[in-house]
Amino acid sequence: MADRPDSPEHGTGSIAILPGTDTTALEFGGAEASEELGLASVRARGYWESVWLRLRRDRLAVAGGVFIILLFVIAFTGAPIASKLLGHGPNEPFLVSGGLDADQLPAGPWTHVGKLMPDGSLDEQLFVLGSDSTLGRDEFLRLLYGAQVSLEVGVGATFLSIFLGALLGAIAGFYRGWSDTLISRMVELTMAFPYLLFVITLGATLGSRLNKVTFGFLGEGVVTLVLVFGLLGWFYSARVFRGVTLSLREKEFVEAARMVGASNWRIIRSHILPHLVGPLIVLATLSVAAFILAEACLSFLGLGIQLPTSSWGNLLAYAPQYYTERPLLMVWPGIALLLTTLAFNLLGDGLRDAFDPRSSR
């Protein structure tokens, strides 16, 4: 932590000594010494460049990152395109014309169904992964639209919880005293709070109004879950950031800043917060995965996303009804959930190592 960009002990000039930087050349007398030794001149690497170089070496983390980018693209642009191409929406039932098979079971993968048109004719359309249930809706489209919901909840809740956690953690760690005591007790209170009970209470009281808040682009129920996860999930990041800040505020560069008359706000903004970026990104990637799983759990319990909006959780919730006849209905959302959380976790691990190469895997 001491070797970050704006620390006074970063040395002089433009060369930053960063964790993991090869300093051999410098020990022999800097650039001149390098030339004397016949070595090519060493270009100083910025902090972020070093992080990126280290991250790039971690193939699993890169794969995770690529998967996440693809997932965002598929969910937010691929889903509407697929819906347009297939000719139907994710909530449209196909009950009388192929959405169910002869045994009244959900149609299997790659089934052609007929859409009942106003004139009574049937328009043939494709169900790539078959039907989601005995309602005869397109499993493939629901999976894609479910990804939107999962990502919205995961990212939204992460932003809120990390923002609250970083803010409160930094205040508690920097100012200590009564603000630390107050915030620490709040953390303990939040940790002890029965969050499932809170979700049920919120659902029964404000739920119906909150669920309607979509800002024109979010799924129904997303805002409720983001608020619940954010308001009850900030404690972990607050604890992390408090610990880091407590350590940072004792560092020489902070003392130096204070000595030259920097205000508390300037010290927090310019000297403390930049050091929190690394752990913040790592924590965020891991939180996204955790919140996606939490959304799936709540939807599985019927407390999450509002019907008929699709989410991976509610796809999983209905699938066991057909587990002997249509086991793939459990597999599709299961795999999606598994790969997404794995990707976020791999990226998180990779980022942790990239930001702090001294930590061992």
Partner 1 sequence: MSLLPVRPIPGRETTGPVVRPGCSIEGSGMRNKKRLFGIVLAISSLVLLAASAATAAPTAKKGGTIVVEFTTDVDYTDPQLSYYGETWKLEGATACKLLNWPDKEGAAGAVATPEVAAGLPVISANGKTYTFTIKPGFRFSNNKPVTAKSFVDAFNRFANPKMQSTGVSFLDIVQGAQAVIDGKASTISGVKARGNKLVVNLTKASPDFLARTTMPFMQAIDPTLAGQIDANGINTYASCGPYYFSARTPNRSITLKRNPYYKGGRTANADTIQVNIGNDVAVEFQNVEKGTTDYASGGIPPTEWKNVVSKYGLNKKDGRVQVRPLLDVRYVAMNHARPLFKDNPGLAKAVNWAVDRQAFSAQGGYLYGKRTGQILPPGMLGYKPAGIYPLKVTPNSIATAKKLAGGNLRGGKAVMWASNAGVAPLQAQLIQYNLKQIGIDAEIRLLPRAQQFTNAGNPKTSDYDMTVERWGADYADPYDFINILLDGNQVTNPQHNNYAYFNVAKYNKQMAAASLLTGPKRGTAYAALDGAVMRENPPWAPMVNSNDRTFLSNRVGCITINEATGSGPLLNVICLK
The two tokens of residue 217 are: 């682009």
Binding mask 4-43 for partner 1 (x = CB under 8 A): ----------------------------------------
Q: Which of 7, 111, 125, 133 binds partner 1 (CB under 8 A)?
A: 133
Binding mask 273-312 for partner 1 (x = CB under 8 A): -----------------------------x---xxx----
* Distance of alpha carbon 256 from alpha carbon 242, whole angstroms: 21
CA distances in angstroms from 146 to 83, 121, 136, 347, listed in the order given:
13, 30, 16, 22
Q: Which of 12, 14, 41, 324 binds partner 1 (CB under 8 A)?
A: 324
Residues 104-123 that bind partner 1 (CB under 8 A): 104-105, 116-120
* Distance of alpha carbon 222 from alpha carbon 229, whole angstroms: 10
197 binds partner 1 (CB under 8 A): no
Query: What does the H/E/C string look like for 309-349?
Result: CCCHHHHHHHHHHHCCCCCHHHHHHHHHHHHHHHHHHHHHH
Q: Are 348 and 285 in contact (CB under 8 A)?
A: yes
Binding footprint of partner 1, residue count (CB under 8 A): 32
101 binds partner 1 (CB under 8 A): no
Non-local (6+) Cβ contacts of 5 within 8 A are 16, 18, 46, 47, 274
96 binds partner 1 (CB under 8 A): yes
Binding mask 208-247 for partner 1 (x = CB under 8 A): x--xx-----------------------------------
Q: Are 9 and 39 in contact (CB under 8 A)?
A: no
Q: Which residues bind partner 1 (CB under 8 A)?
A: 91-93, 95-96, 100, 103-105, 116-120, 133-135, 208, 211-212, 302, 306-308, 318, 320-326
